[in-house]
Structure 1
Amino acid sequence: MTPPAHARAVIIGGGVIGCSVAYHLTKLGWKDVVLLERKRLTSGTTWHAAGLIAQLRASANMTRLAKYSQELYGALEEETGVATGFRRVGSMTVALTEARREEILRQASMARAFGVEAEPIGPGEVKFRHPLIEGADVLAGVYLAKDGQGDPANIALAMARGAKQRGAEIFENVKAVSVTREGRRVTGVDWEMAGERGRIACDHVVNCAGMWGREVGRMLGVNVPLQACEHFYIVSEPIDNLEQLPVLRVPDECAYYKVDAGKLMLGAFEPVAKPWALDGLPEDFEFDQIQEDFDHFEPILEAAVARVPALGRAGIHTFFNGPESFTPDNAYHLGLAPEAENVWVAAGFNSIGIQSAGGAGMALAEWMETGEKPFDLGDVDIARMHPFQGNRTYLALRATESLGLLYADHFPLRQKASARGVRRSPFHHQLLERGAVMGEIAGWERANWFAASGEPREYRHSWGRENWFENAAAEHRAVREGVGLYDMSSFGKIRVEGPDAESFLNHVAGAEMAVPAGKIVYTQFLNARGGIEADVTITRLSETAYLVVTPAATRLADETRLRRLAGERRVAITDMTAAEGVLAVMGPRARDLMRAVSPDDFSNAAHPFGWAREIEIGMGLARAHRVSYVGELGWELYVSADMAGHVFETLIEAGARFDLKLCGLHMMNNCRIEKAFRHFGHDITSEDHVLEAGLGFAVKTAKSEFIGRDAVLRKREAGLGRRMLQFRLNDPEPILHHNEPILRDGRVVGYLSSGAYGHTLGAAVGLGYVPSEGESAEALLASSYEIEIAGRLFAARAALKPFYDPTGERMRG
């Protein structure tokens, strides 16, 4: 039997992910679904996966997908007749350090907000639930009773059978070798089987090729950054009277343990991983393993034998080393590839493929069915990956670190140490010379804070006040009380130009784009549900040209959305990010500094808030945008890359007279949260309605039709189901990050979408949504609020308007 001549969807890869996508597409009624597997089903990574199936992930929607997987696997056997081996055995994570104790207790609090049962337990309870553990140094644990484990291969085969029962065709030993294209669409997949070749004309292609995902992506013309790494585990000889125990994770020793068939399995995520097959994956790899490296694994095994002595007494039955794929940020890749209109990706699952497959397959199938993400998938959307991240040298360097980060301390602002320095602003070296401590996002090196002379330029992470806390506080005060300077060059800059630019942007954006040249408009790109796909400022440069400024991390996603929506309109869309450096001059004395470096008029009358214009500065030229993300008087100066160094020197030299302080982006985040300015990806996402996010002022329904307009009108008529509030803790000591539960009158009603320290307000500040159906603002604010941090409750004030400068007078002054 050979593949058919046409399919609505061709899925490449027959591991658990490909089988899940096929299963869920057919569940939605897709009939002509074809899955091609180069060897046999599950023969890549799935067959040797550990099969741990946890519920709790780092965000609400990733948890939602993991919980769906559990529910699906529990029902598959009845549907398909294939036993999945799924059992709810529970899981337990233990802490050996104070930092880890804080982390797992914060996770337990987060679980409450996400609807996951998680029980903090003491050392005695840890020993009771897992009698094999030596726990004299265990400080605490968290127990999740509904976590489970299953048979990875059978889970995949069950979904494959379910897909076939609904009409999918699955072909083993058939390799996809090339494709045909028309423009940005793949029109056919060429296959090879035992010397025979053929072609399937198709409407969609899905790359589920696992550790072959990068190479298959190249064949399809899309970027899928991932790297295979060695992953080690051992299985003991049978242990007499070994009963079923919860899965045990000891992340401080890089180890996890599970009981299966009377044996004990030990797996590891070592701190320094070993990338595999850097010159290409073996063509004949099938149900295979890699040469053992006992020396690499020995330190973890030594600690494990001390932690679980029964492991040492039993002896080793199997020492296994098998490859798995890892991505640059340890989040898997899902969604429509930016480079194509019908190429989808579900790959790079970072050792959580079994627990993620059900939910990922469901979400991708619904996305393919409707053309819209079913809910916010920003954590894993393939559009977050930038082209350079497919570079093999970059991937090898980053994979060496990223595998180990799975069990490292997950400090919220932890900076990756590997594969750094790829993208640098025009001011990079000038900032380093003056004490900048760099962080990284989307490859961009960005000054996050500035060290004092003689102070170590390094992060010392913790869950409380980190070593840079006072440095950021001083920068914060400079912007609030004097003048500060910081680099915003990494923010995306997309030029939209052409005869149809105005009408096109009026279709895409919620605000009115028929404005005079020089006007800056704050707006959102909405989806049909009124959810926020992008949060941008748009400056009209001329009658036919606009500049769209986006966050650094979402520049590619935002540009891709614009390109897809442009259709036949007469517009050119160009990424201009690297063409200009951007310096922000912010603070009450910003006007004084600008007057010292430029002969132009910076009065309110000549240059009001929300306008941009060309200026002279030093001996050069710039475009000065009067906007603010910190809530103070100031300008963002856009300077061509060739003049950037000169403009920086000019500002630094003149700034000495005004006590100008160089600032980092931690300061910017602290200031913006005092002003309750939303952060895309945390506070506002594709499933957050623009009105419930408190951004109705940026939507102009009086203008002609735009995406999301009907949803805005419906919501206005129906009323808000929830509202975003700002919270300030009464206690000045704790630190907020995000995902801390919000309690209203003693009951959990939500969680913080973002948090930071408000140095002017003198306490930590957070933003979060609270249900408000049928309630007035007065009733909502009359309640008593608390924020839960690692199991402790802290009273908080709530507000709809910003605690700092609620009228916005300071930045308009």
Structure 2
Amino acid sequence: MKSQVKALVVGGGAVGTSIAYHLARAGWQDVMLLERDELTSGSTWHAAGLLPYFNMSYATTHIHDYSIRFYKTLEEETGLDAGFFVVGNLRMAQTDARMDEYRLYATTAETCGVPFEWMTPAQIRDRWSLIHTDDLKGAIYHPTDGYINPADVTMAMAKGARRRGVTIERKWQVDGYAWKGDHWDVTLTKMVEKGGNLVPSDETTIVSAEHVVTATGNHAQRTARQLGIKMPAIPVEHQFIVTEPDPALVEYRKSHEQHPVIRDADAKWYVREERGGWILGPYELNAPARFEYGVPDSFRADLFPLDLERIEEEYMSMIHRIPSTETVGLKDDFNGPICYTPDGNPLIGPAPGLRNMWLAEGFSFGITAAGGAGYYLAQMMVDGEAEIDMASLDPKRFGEDWMTTEYAARKNEEAYEHVYILHHPDEERPACRPLRTGPCYDRQKAEGAQFGCVNGWERPNYYGPKDAPDSFDHDARSFRRGGWWQYAVDEAKAIREGVGLIDATAFAKHAVTGPGAAEFLSGFTCNKLPNVGRINLTYALSAAGTVRTEYTIVRRGEQDFYLVSAGAWAAYDGDYLRKAAEDYMAAGGGHVTIQDITSQWGVFAIAGPKSRDVLTTLVRDADPTTALSNKRFPWLSMRNIELGMVPVMALRVAYTGELGWELHHPIEMSAHLWDRLMDAGRPHGLKLVGGRAQNWLRMEKSYRAFGHELGRDATPLEAGLDRFVDCTRPYTGKPAMLETGIRSRCCTLLIDGPEDADPWGREALFTEDGERVGRLTSGGYSVAFGKAIGMGYVRPGLAQPGTRLKVRIMDALWDAEVTEDSPYDPKNEVIRRDG
């Protein structure tokens, strides 16, 4: 065995072999793959091998698309048949809401270039006569996917990897990782067979690796403990059964090609052919999480006992959908562990707090994702970034410090049972909630708040009726304008016309201090640093020159900075910030201290033409009437003020684009400050406002949002943020940003859409001649213009104001026009309003 390698991949399932293959194909010459048992002995061996395109995530759709295209090339390259049956994938709908879900999904597929067809019940019945269609509304059909033999495709990738120089070692278990400053020492133990079990021998060795990738599947919790990190990848039981041959199917196949993979999403199952019979795979309720604290040493390529009672409803619905299965016996059954994460998408990217340690864990659809995961992770490792934005799959997206094993297990069970539950774009899943709550949670709930969950924090999405039943929010969800829509309209209007109060406590907040703080931040971000008492919006760039993180920087002192970023990305932003500071100090820079102070500070945002009037009644100052004037408190400045008994770091900014302030305060005083603001606001008609109205308002100002317009696939110049980019000095990512040029351009569009639906921010954009030229990244409704609004990317020449385009909403094309940036108050006169 080699003792030193460039990259060590731990885990010999489909995901691990794909990563090793793609690292070698990308040019790394010294790659080793380790497997503690035999290749495919984890979840790969009992996977059903389906290759579904369907996914609401832009990044995951690209990953699935790459896998499906890549697997079709393996036989030509390796000589091994990967066992790919391109039979298509028929996803049926029993309800209009399900068809709306497919229409929304289709916009993501369209922007990624994934082919699909719409089918009516009659077309389904005419083509596949064994399917009962009387109660169907329609279906979406992917003709280019199907299913594959998991073992065959894994062995084909392993052979391709070996041909490219990868060393594959079996029966070696990792027992420890140690970072040595520029490489990892990985302690290995030889595993041997004993009495049918796999047990450690006395033979050990150490392999030094510049980079390590873990693709350990069901063993992810053991890996996490070895690395000293938290990782919400925990397996859940998944059952599927194989029937005896179905005589009707056998007869059908005498004159027809193989059936597509059939999915009845409303019945919560998939079915495919298997040697004249059928495989039924349900996603039922109450499937338990397993191995929360690690896989027992005795568990190898094993299964759990089948629980047929748990899947009885799904089994009966298969008989309803395919009547010929009623008299067919059961041939085989499988109940094995499949690793999940709280949102069902994998963890792909750098491990939190560690150098050159990469995670590829939590693959609930591992065969579908394996090829693409290897391809894009190899790009991240070799080139510094992938060609698509992988932030939505980053291992740190769930936070870290607050997350527990119990939380991950219960959320993963929920993700499993939600595989076929309607994926409303405004869905809020209930498991493990509420968990992280601000001090005003109960007050907000009493006012009718309907909460969303951001990084574990409960945050009001909107305020419904105070006397609404517990089911109100669920009933309000829709793929069109949900029951919450009018409430959000009223909240947005209140900020444009009067005054509104928003709880923004979930914002991520970091303090950057020390003698090297200013120099460090100057090289870390692309905008000039603000003067003391002032505020700047700035961006930390990736090595590829794209937007890695957005920060609002408040300069409290010469070497004292307060950084605010998106609440959903607290761990993601903080990890990047800390690692960058470590690099700066290692290169000889002055000392820098980074503190995550998110939970120490509450934040309320007050905005609207009357916001100054409300605050003036509370501010304690020698001259309260001028304390908040432009002269004493100009736009983009910070002042420490007192609102009643509460010391407040007030920022003259407003994400809504109205006159307003962010009120950052000691979190233990939040309830008191909330009550005082409510009392002071009542005479002025103050209205409580949630995140959905705020999101609409920021689009009227063309404010870009991280994870939407801003990400690792676009530079700040492509995002149209030239005014926040200082090209007069060096900083991370600047050369790559300038070299990249402008591949596409962010723009804002006003849309003449349908009366009952707005865009969600994933729709394809077309010219009036029907050519697809871009996609939306945000969407909603504009109260200022009385129509739908969106932001997105198009070819540079089409981003000019007045350009007429088309946007697909609910499978129809609607007129859209590119507007000037900040169509509401383009000269920022409102936000600078004096008083």
> How does the TM-score come out when normalised to structure 1?
0.95
Tell me whether 1:705 sits opposite 2:730 in the alignment. Answer: yes
Is 2:446–2:466's contact at 8 Å kept on the other side of the alignment? no
| Contact 1:113 1:749 (8 Å CA) reproduced | no
Query: What's 1:497 paired with?
Result: 513
Deviations 1:97-131 (A, max 9, x none): 11001111232344233212111111111223332
- Cα distance in 1 for residues equivalent to 2:69 and 2:466: 56
Q: List per-residue Cα deviations over 1:576-630 (Å, max 9, x = no partner).
A: 1001100111110010011000134000110011001100111121110010110
Q: Which residue of 2 aligns with 1:629?
A: 655
Aligned 1:12-91 pairs, distance under 5 A: 12-91=10-89
Offset of residue 198 of structure 1: 1.6
The alpha carbon displacement at 1:535 in A equals 1.6
Structure 2 CA distance for partners of 1:390 and 1:434, relative to 1, 3 Å: closer
Q: Give the corresponding residue for 2:607.
A: 586
Q: Report matched runs for 1:317-332 at 5 Å.
A: 317-332=331-346
Q: Is the 8 A contact 1:731 1:763 kept in 2?
A: no
| Distance (whole Å) between structure 1 residues aligned to residue 4 and residue 252 of structure 2 | 52
Kept in 1: contact 2:781–2:787 (CA 8 A): yes
Tell me the alpha carbon deviations over residues 390-448 of structure 1, each in whole angstroms, 9 at most, x when there is no partner: 52111221122111211111100100110112212232222223222211011111111
Contact 1:179 / 1:190 at 8 angstroms: preserved in 2?
no
> How far off is 1:45 after superposition?
0.4
C-alpha spacing 1:233/1:533, structure 2 compared with 1 (3 Å) = same
8 A contact 2:171–2:191 mirrored in 1: yes
Shift of 1:262: 2.2
CA contact (8 A) 2:546 2:737 kept: no
Give unmatched runs, 5+ long, in structure 1.
none
Among candidates 477, 493, 497, match of residue 481 of structure 1: 497
Is the 2:17–2:157 Cα contact (8 Å) retained in structure 1? yes
Aligned to 1:740: 763
Question: Structure 1: which amino acid aligns with 2:820?
Answer: L
Match of residue 486, structure 2, among 470, 485, 493: 470
Q: Which amino acid aligns with 1:803?
A: P
> What amino acid sits opposite 2:571 in the alignment?
L
> 1:9·1:206 contact (CA, 8 Å) conserved in 2?
yes
Map of 2:580 onto structure 1 = 565
Deviation digits for residues 351-371 of structure 1, max 9, x if unmatched? x11111011011112211133
Partner of 2:535: 520
Question: Aligned residue for 1:511?
Answer: 527
CA distance in 1, matches of 2:52, 2:460: 37
User: What letter corresponds to residue 622 of structure 1 in structure 2?
Assistant: V
For residues 666 and 405 of structure 2, the distance between their equivalents in structure 1, rounded to whole angstroms, comes to 31
The alignment partner of 1:504 has SS state of: helix
Question: Equivalent residue for 1:382?
Answer: 395
**Matched-pair contact (CA < 8 Å) for 1:678–1:684:** yes
* Letter paired with 1:462: S
Once the two structures are superposed, the pairs formed by residues 540-619 of structure 1 within 5 Å of their partners are: 540-566=555-581, 567=583, 568=585, 569=589, 570-600=591-621, 601-619=627-645
Post-superposition Cα deviations, 1:254-306, rounded to whole Å, max 9, x if no partner, equal 01111133221111112443212345422122221111101101111011111
Aligned to 2:377, the other structure's residue is in SS state helix
1:62 is displaced (CA, Å) by 2.4
- What is the CA–CA distance in structure 2 between the aligned matches of 1:184 and 1:678, rounded to whole Å? 37
1:431 matches 2:444: yes
2:392 is paired with a residue whose SS is coil
- Residues 730 and 93 from structure 1, CA distance in 2 versus in 1: closer, same or farther, beyond 3 angstroms? closer
CA distance in 1, matches of 2:232, 2:402: 6
SS of 1:241 mapped into structure 2: helix
The separation in 1 between residues aligned to 2:781 and 2:235, in whole angstroms, is 39
Whether the 8 Å CA contact 2:185–2:206 is kept in 1: the answer is no
Which of 241, 244, 250 is equivalent to 2:251? 241
Looking at structure 1, the residues matched to 507 and 385 of structure 2 have their Cα atoms a distance apart, in angstroms, of 26
Q: Alpha-carbon deviation of 1:720?
A: 5.8
How far off is 1:80 after superposition? 1.8
**CA–CA distance in structure 2, aligned partners of residues 482 and 102 of structure 1:** 36
CA distance in structure 2 between the partners assigned to 1:781 and 1:552 by the alignment: 32
2:300 partner letter: E
Matched, 1:167 2:165: yes
Confirm or deny: 8 A CA contact 1:222 1:340 kept in the other structure.
no
Determine the C-alpha separation between the residues in 2 that align with 1:516 and 1:781: 34
**5+ unaligned residues in a row in structure 2: which ranges?**
193-200, 622-626
Under a length normalisation based on structure 2, what TM-score does the superposition of the two structures give? 0.93
Q: Counterparts of 1:181-580 in structure 2 under 5 Å?
A: 181-182=179-180, 186-194=184-192, 195=201, 196-239=203-246, 240-243=250-253, 244-278=258-292, 280-350=294-364, 352-388=365-401, 390-457=403-470, 458-459=472-473, 460=475, 461-513=477-529, 515-566=530-581, 567=583, 568=585, 569=589, 570-580=591-601
- Match of 1:258, SS? strand
Q: C-alpha distance in 2, partners of 1:597/1:171?
A: 69
Residue pair 1:530, 1:709 contacting (<8 A) in 2 also: yes
**C-alpha contact 2:751 2:814 (8 A) present in aligned 1:** no
- Is 1:74–1:86's contact at 8 Å kept on the other side of the alignment? yes
What SS does the aligned partner of 1:605 have? Answer: coil
AA in 2 matched with 1:436: A
The 3 A distance-change label for structure 1 pair 180 and 453 is: closer
Of 331-340 and 471-480, more deviation after overlay is shown by 471-480
- The answer to whether the 8 Å contact 1:178/1:191 transfers is no
Aligned in 2, Cα 1:670/1:464: closer, same or farther, shift over 3 Å?
same
- Structure 1's 760 and 722: CA in aligned 2 closer, same or farther, altered over 3 A? closer
Residues 726 and 91 (structure 1 numbering): CA distance in 2 closer, same or farther, change over 3 Å? same
2:187–2:204: 8 Å Cα contact kept in structure 1?
A: no
Map of 1:775-790 to 2, 5 A cutoff? 780-790=800-810
Counterpart in the other structure of 1:178:
176
Greater shift in the superposed pair: 644-653 or 371-380: 371-380
- 2:178 and 2:186 in contact (8 A); partners too: yes
Q: 1:527, CA displacement in angstroms? A: 2.2
**Retained in 2: the 8 A contact 1:184–1:339?**
no
SS of match in other structure, 2:830: helix
Aligned equivalents of 1:110 and 1:453: distance in 2?
36
SS in 2 for 1:228: strand
Aligned equivalents of 1:596, 1:202: Cα separation in 2: 63
Are 1:724 and 2:743 counterparts? no
The 3-state SS of whatever aligns with 1:383 is coil
Tell me which amino acid in the other structure corresponds to 1:756: G
Does 2:822 correspond to 1:802? yes
How far apart in 2 are the matches of 1:102 and 1:180? 50
The one-letter code sitting in structure 2 at the alignment partner of 1:463 is: F
Q: CA deviation digits over 1:159-181, x for unaligned, max 9?
A: 11111222222222221112223
Between stretches 205-214 and 458-467, larger displacement belongs to: 458-467
CA distance in 2, matches of 1:486, 1:714: 40
Q: Cα–Cα, structure 1 residues 37 and 306, in superposed 2: closer, same or farther, change >3 Å?
A: same
SS, match of residue 643 in structure 1: helix
Asked whether the 8 Å contact 2:10–2:34 carries over to 1, the reply is yes
**Displacement, 1:674?**
1.9
More displaced stretch, 391-400 vs 59-68: 59-68
SS at match of 2:831: helix
Distance, in Å, in 2 between the alignment partners of 1:649 and 1:489 is: 16
CA change 1:723–1:485 in 2 (3 A) is: closer
Distance of 1:557 and 1:721 partners within structure 2: 26
Residue identity over aligned pairs, in percent, reads 34
1:723/1:93 CA distance change after superposition, 3 Å: same
